[in-house]
Structure 1
């Protein structure tokens, strides 16, 4: 147990409570930078924790006594790049996305490390047995520059879509394990301008003066399964019919021309994360204004809530009680690219719908 890593705030400080926008409520405060939250249909809560400059990424379950445990176990969270006995095929190297899928599994996207075979993978944890029972290695699909980030699923649950921030989309047949990398360097998947945070351009990881540009990252699927929505981190939301995307697995022509079917959908801002509700509304975090946007199924984009506490909100979640869960990861520009600074909050905000039926259990 790591009880010290997680503290639930039952009594909020007056200064923070007064500062919050109407409807925005503080659910938890964490000592460790938390990228995302996933909540199962029976109320179990799982956190992906990263963006620390000193601690490795980890997945944890929040228990009823507000302590946490490494999930699914300590072994999966034990990767050590300096230890030659550490197996990147059976440990989390870089947890970049996490989601409870329509099949009820807790799916974790391991972006891995470039040049480390077996480190880039999609890991499915059975929530009944708390054991990994599905595992897809992505080495044969990705490019040398790839960084796999997030995952969503088609209506049938047999195709996974994974974003590649190098500017591409991975399409994976979950029955056969066969996959394709599509939209590579397509205009719709490319970051044309640096990201912004709180009024400034985000510094990159390169030489002084370099800025951060992140390709295709956020993805969502419409509640009826007809459309896949996607965008680079710098914003600009597109949509494309899933029938075309799925067909790239067997149609070599569509594989190379898929971008021709992409439609501009909404002019969204620099974004940390997205989610979608049962009515088809997409929620987009704004890293510049520190806000959450709502994009309707018609493409109308408005600011839903803004608060300075919403620092780089990332992997959001919608629950059946019509709440939008907002993990403010605290990732922000620093002297060494991006870094997180505590305290790290998870908020909730009321919305008008529950989760999309094919989005998560």
Structure 2
């Protein structure tokens, strides 16, 4: 396993940064790796967790805890990170795509269940694994039936309100509603325009990102956030635009949720998002290598733009208000370039603050 370098010095705010803020932000390099292509990060009491999908070519654990000695330790243990072709995927990570800490502190890990990009989930492979971070033990596994985790689907991200989890499917457009008490899951908005990618291209570094078939990449329902009070779910395809729906219409299996979808925001193609307690939405603008903020009243501000922030995925907003930014460079993955990776190693993880103080 390659080592992770922790605790690097902050990068100078003058090094290629552009900002609309009067007090310049600071990007601190927290960790870097020559092995893991991390697209997700979360924190718990100072501990840093990262993960990276198998299809990217990421090596090492699917889910890792970065320790103070510069090592990426398999989390919650080696067995959960020991899947290989032919092994039972029911109780191991096949392809971790998302991490999310619930309001109660539990860690929810989304496993697409497919080791290949666009492939069908393995039997019992698609799941959400719930980990108690007080004990670091798996306390429940939520498995998805074949009519929920569809062939060609890609269960992407998760948000939680009360006893209900909401997930996106980036491969087969739709949302998934998961009852955390019963474990029952069902699809909603399958194939609806609000979750289906348009022909709007995803542009990074001035180039259109192409899928393995050579056509412009389309990523269906991908980013999403819950309003701080849990009333609304905001969602959309990666290339926008975003819609919203009151969660009551998702929670009621008798409701026709498509009748209650509303337009919400015209956002550019984003790598990931985080919502602040005041309703501000932080998002990563792929075309501009930027982190931006959409205020609750709809105004959009550029916080920082930097060439090192090349396809920032799934930022994490910590309790102090700092943004943690994993940089997997997903458009440079080999499958998008005829099998030849263009990753600029090492991959990096940054923390964004303003003049040493947290973002607000």
TM-score by length of 2: 0.87
Instruction: Tell me whether 120-129 or 326-335 shows the greater mean CA deviation.
Output: 326-335
Q: CA 1:167/1:152 → structure 2, altered by over 3 Å: closer, same or farther?
A: same
Please name the residue that 2:78 is paired with. Answer: 74
Please name the residue that 1:7 is paired with. Answer: 5
Whether the aligned pair in 1 keeps the contact of 2:106 and 2:132 (CA below 8 Å) is yes
Whether the aligned pair in 2 keeps the contact of 1:203 and 1:333 (CA below 8 Å) is no
Counterpart CA distance in 2 for 1:87 and 1:279 is 43
Please name the residue that 2:117 is paired with. Answer: none
2:212 aligned residue (175, 183, 205): 205
The unaligned stretches of length 5 or more in structure 1 are 356-361
Please name the residue that 2:112 is paired with. Answer: 111
Counterpart CA distance in 1 for 2:175 and 2:260 is 14
In the TM superposition, residue 354 of structure 1 has moved relative to its aligned partner by 7.7
In the TM superposition, residue 13 of structure 1 has moved relative to its aligned partner by 7.5
Please name the residue that 1:358 is paired with. Answer: none
Counterpart CA distance in 2 for 1:17 and 1:90 is 47
Partner of 1:69, secondary structure, is strand
Partner of 1:125, secondary structure, is strand
Counterpart CA distance in 2 for 1:133 and 1:144 is 28
Deviations along 1:68-100, one digit per CA (max 9) or x if unpaired, are 21001111111111xx3x111111111011111
Counterpart CA distance in 2 for 1:171 and 1:212 is 26
Instruction: Tell me whether 134-143 or 234-243 shows the greater mean CA deviation.
Output: 134-143
2:166 aligned residue (141, 161, 168): 161
Partner of 1:169, secondary structure, is strand
Deviations along 1:228-286, one digit per CA (max 9) or x if unpaired, are 011111121111111111113xx1xx2xx312211111111111111111111111111
In the TM superposition, residue 346 of structure 1 has moved relative to its aligned partner by 1.5
Partner of 1:245, secondary structure, is helix
Whether the aligned pair in 2 keeps the contact of 1:57 and 1:95 (CA below 8 Å) is no
In the TM superposition, residue 52 of structure 1 has moved relative to its aligned partner by 3.6
Q: Is 1:192 aligned with 2:195?
A: no
Please name the residue that 2:229 is paired with. Answer: 224
In the TM superposition, residue 12 of structure 1 has moved relative to its aligned partner by 5.9
Please name the residue that 1:313 is paired with. Answer: 312
Counterpart CA distance in 1 for 2:111 and 2:287 is 27
Counterpart CA distance in 2 for 1:98 and 1:143 is 21
Q: RMSD of aligned C-alpha atoms?
A: 2.3
Partner of 1:244, secondary structure, is helix
1:29 aligned residue (28, 32, 48): 32
Please name the residue that 1:269 is paired with. Answer: 268
TM-score by length of 1: 0.87
Partner of 1:327, secondary structure, is strand
In the TM superposition, residue 307 of structure 1 has moved relative to its aligned partner by 1.1
1:121 aligned residue (127, 131, 140): 127
Counterpart CA distance in 1 for 2:75 and 2:285 is 29
Please name the residue that 1:341 is paired with. Answer: 344
1:134 aligned residue (116, 130, 140): 140
Whether the aligned pair in 2 keeps the contact of 1:278 and 1:353 (CA below 8 Å) is no
In the TM superposition, residue 56 of structure 1 has moved relative to its aligned partner by 6.6
Counterpart CA distance in 2 for 1:128 and 1:8 is 24
- Structure 1 segment 235-250 matched on structure 2, within 5 A: 235-248=240-253
Q: CA 1:334/1:10 → structure 2, altered by over 3 Å: closer, same or farther?
A: closer
Partner of 1:305, secondary structure, is strand
Counterpart CA distance in 1 for 2:265 and 2:234 is 10
Partner of 2:230, secondary structure, is coil
Q: CA 1:13/1:185 → structure 2, altered by over 3 Å: closer, same or farther?
A: closer
